[in-house]
Amino acid sequence: MIERNEYLSKLISVKENGFPKIITGVRRCGKSYLLKEIYRNYLLNNGVLDSQIIIIELDDIRNVKYRNPYELDKYIREKCSKNIMNYIFIDEIQLVTPIINPLYTNGKYVLANKNDKDVITFVEVVLGLSREKNIDIYATGSNSKMLSSDVITQFRDKATNITLNPLSFEEFSKYKNSTSIETIYEYMRFGGMPLAVLKPVDQKKEYLKSLFETTYFKDILEHNNLKRSELLDSLCNIISEETGQLFNSTKIANIYKTVTKNNIDKETVEQYINYFIDSFIIKETTRFDIKGNEEIGALRKYYFVDNGLRNARINFAFEDEGQMLENMVYNELTYNGYSVNVGTFDKNEKDKNGKSIRKTYEIDFIAKKNSKKYYIQVCADLSSKEVKNREIRPFKAINDSFQKIIVLNKPIEESYDENGIVIIGISDFLLKFIK
């Protein structure tokens, strides 16, 4: 069994807190499994009776009746025992169909249209049930109606949102019972989507590639009333090929024009990028001026929520080890609760002729968590003197005491160079250093 102990701990910490628990995340990352298998087993092993756990799978045709919000509410209230806590798990809650308030339809259930007012949705059902002292409610969903921005807007501060990610490297290595370089490289190539992890290598690729056409793009098209997927394909491919590069919408539009010979405006690019972000497929990070201590400019870096998904977009060809490593480090930092920015700063220097010039430096990541602050460079190989000088040059130009780190895709333990810079292998960095 694949363990998701970090997320189990999160669920335990909010158990019976008086708020509904809404579990979101990229499709196929294991939301239903977390709830119906891992968390359910925890409850059963800690004194909760099976009769206290009510699971409603709305994608089961036998439960189609409960896609009506009133019928769902009625069913749950009738099933709940009095004077004892009932744990309600609603899976695929997005299948609950919005209806017009029956007060305005002579008591009849009438499906709501997009522009109808006074509509009853699953949000009202969940919030109403959560107010009962004998009900602790959990809901998962997939599909376009459970995208990140929608959930935040609909529930505001009235629910606990837990965002589930694909397997972290720690979870993956525990399942594999290995931290070898082969294990690291497998994770870098194929990522941590649970079903992909369980498949043999020859099936991983096709499964990951199929997710975009059969699931992700389909959801985005449906949610945003789009008719064509060609633009989704092209922009997703551009981001995958340029992972970790600084972008703005104008730059992406220019790349699109070069690749496809078609024009696109920057507003459309920004819109489509937001579709990917809301679907949990990619994450965005901004630049941070180290000297000015503020976020700056329109340039962004984009990373895929999972390396396997990113590599699937380039058909697992021309895999850049540096890009994969950087994407992996970014995801692991955010998974461990760090806020992450791209570091940048300007410094006046002398050129070889003694002329004063202004030079811009960039650092892969600035990671902050409570009192911790790290400057991080990610590098596949540091054996070349030229490469080493390039990686440490920004560190030497920063005049502060925060820890500076170079992460290598090598099985080496933590050490320090003559400048006090930490040199550490990816495994030790992820499993020990940032914990």
Residues 358 and 337 reside in one and the same domain:
yes
* Whole-number pLDDT of residue 146: 65
Regarding whether 343 and 244 lie in a shared domain, the answer is yes
Pair 160, 179 in one domain? no
CA 370 to chain centre: 21
Structure-token match 């020990």, residue found: 432
Give SS3 for 408: strand
Number of domains in the chain: 2
Asked whether residue 125 falls in the same domain as residue 177, the answer is: no
Total count of residues recorded for the chain: 435
Query: Where is the domain boundary, 109, 144, 164?
Result: 164
Spell out a b/e string for 213-249, using b for 16 or more CB atoms within 10 Å of the CB, else e. eebbbebbbebeeeeeeebbebbbbbbbbbbbebbeb
114, 210: one domain: no
Residue entry with tokens 């499964």: 207
pLDDT for the residue numbered 149: 66
318 Cβ neighbours under 8 A, 6+ residues apart: none
> 208 and 135 in one domain?
no
Same domain, 144 and 181: no
**Domain match, 93 and 137 both:** yes
Q: Give CA separation, 102 vs 74, 77, 99, 108, 124, in Å.
A: 15, 19, 8, 6, 14
Where b means 16+ CB within 10 Å and e means fewer, 182-205 reads ebbebbbbbbbbbebbebeeeebb
Residues 192 and 145 occupy one common structural domain: no
Burial (CB < 10 A; 0-12, 13-18, 19+), residue 268, is middle
Q: Using N-to-C axis directions, what is the helix angle for 148-155 and 122-130, rounded to 10°?
A: 50
Owning domain of residue 341? 168-435
What is the reported pLDDT for 147? 62
Task: Kindly state the DSSP code that residue 305 receives in the 8-state scheme.
Answer: S
| Other residues' Cβ atoms within 10 Å of the Cβ of residue 309 | 27
Using CA atoms, how far apart are residues 203 and 219, in angstroms rounded to an integer? 23
Whole-angstrom CA distances from 380 to 321, 324, 326, 435 are 6, 9, 9, 22
For residue 127, the domain's CATH number is: 3.40.50.300
Residue 190: which of 24, 302, 37, 327 has the closest Cα? 327
Q: Are residues 194 and 180 in the same domain?
A: yes
pLDDT reported for residue 238:
95
Which residues in the chain show pLDDT less than 70?
143-149, 152
Enter the DSSP assignment of 177. Answer: T
Tell which of 101, 135, 164 closes a domain: 164
Integer-rounded Cα radius of gyration of the chain: 24
Closest to 272 measured CA to CA, from 314, 233, 319, 322: 233
pLDDT score of 228 = 75
Distance CA 163, CA 148 (A): 9
- For 67-92, give the DSSP string: GSHHHHHHHHHHHSPTTS-EEEEEES
Chain centre to alpha carbon of residue 348 = 38
Same-domain check for residues 259 and 160:
no
Domain stop point among 164, 195, 213: 164
Q: Identify whether residues 74 and 146 lie together within a single domain.
A: yes
